[in-house]
Amino acid sequence: MATIPICITDLTGDQIRELAAELSEPVYRAAQLQSWIYRRLPLFIDDMPDLPQSFRQRLAMKVRLHSLVPAHEMIGDDGTVKVLFTLADGKTIESALMPYPAGRYRSRYTVCVSTQVGCPVGCPFCATGQQGFERNLTPGEIIDQVLYFARWLRDHSNQAGSASGQLASHITNLVFMGMGEPLANYNALWQAMEMLNSPDGFDLGARHMVISTAGLVPQIERLSREQLQVGLAVSLHASSNTLRNTLVPINKKYPLDEIMPACRRYCQATGRRISFEYILFDNLNDSTEDARSLARLVAGLNCHVNLIAANPTTNGSFRPPHRSIILTFEQELRRLRIACTLRQGKGLDIDSGCGQLRSRFLQPTAGQSSHGSLHHSTGRV
């Protein structure tokens, strides 16, 4: 069977320069090529006319431009775009582009990026978690989700609202909160983020990127020593080990009494604020006492709590609370001087919670619902 050429987005900047040298091209060709890939977003190698035809022909024998193909697209009433992608090996992942018109903050477009096929954490409320884990994504498969939506915005800018000035015309933020546990695919994730941040790559500021984790303590420690000033969000969803063991099963390996000290060390080492994600489930973690317990857990930390109402799903065990309960929970946190935000859901009409679109295209196994709820959430930046 013929070998599939490597995807060019799987290469680092140094490797692209090595590729140009291997093809007997001067070093500036590597810079031209990288500019095309990350700035001008070509669909085909022949769409780069200022590269010599002979170079393009030899390049086509060595690399391909894309590692994923859109298989299904849905657009919500709020402008959220959800896409199911097929990878070279036939596996599928999903990503979302989420618009935020100007309000308290500047308008922005956020891409919710997947880092794995499936997820090893196995949260029972999450569609992806119930699909099981298949494999890590490569750096190129992570990067290409971002480049796809950058191209989508370029091609749909007038429809998307940028012409009226209501929205940015380009990607402004990345959240690694899609399918998978990002810190379980650390090396590929970090290579992708370095290229997305690089002035010679996508050139997006590190502070506009957020990594979400279910609480992998060794990787949180490692992240605290990195130079890129990316954001960190820890998905708590419970303030006791008893409940969190059920909602986030990896808590059995890394319980709260290990996660919270790691978070404190992270804040001390980096000087950056940490975010905590807390999905509210009806009659599970939404009481006033739950709010007080959460406040005690995060007290003294330079942190912000993002409250998210669970997505309505067919799984009756994980329903969203009534709006009044959510507001009471938020008010209690504020009374206790915990900075918090109630995040607006995005793409609710298109089931944009993590893994829900992919679930429609998978053969359900016995006892598995075809819909889950939100894993790391939709629209929390």
Which residues are designated catalytic? 94, 354
State the CB neighbour count (10 A cutoff) for residue 271. Answer: 9
Phi-psi region of 222 (alpha: psi -120 to 50; beta: other; left: phi over 0): alpha
DSSP 64: E
Q: Is 225 exposed, middle or buried (0-12, 13-18, 19+ CB in 10 A)?
A: exposed
Q: Please tell me the distance from the alpha carbon of residue 275 to that of residue 339, in angstroms, as a whole number.
A: 10
- Residues forming beta bridges with residue 86, ordered by sequence position: 69, 92
Cβ-based neighbours of 78, under 8 Å, separated by 6 or more? 99, 346, 347, 349
Alpha helices in the chain (DSSP H): 13-22, 27-35, 53-62, 139-155, 157-160, 186-197, 217-223, 241-247, 256-270, 288-298, 323-335, 356-360
Residue 35: which of 162, 179, 152, 200 has the closest Cα?
Answer: 200
CA angle at residue 149 from 145 to 152, to 5 degrees?
140
Q: Please say whether the beta carbons of 236 and 338 come within 8 A.
A: no
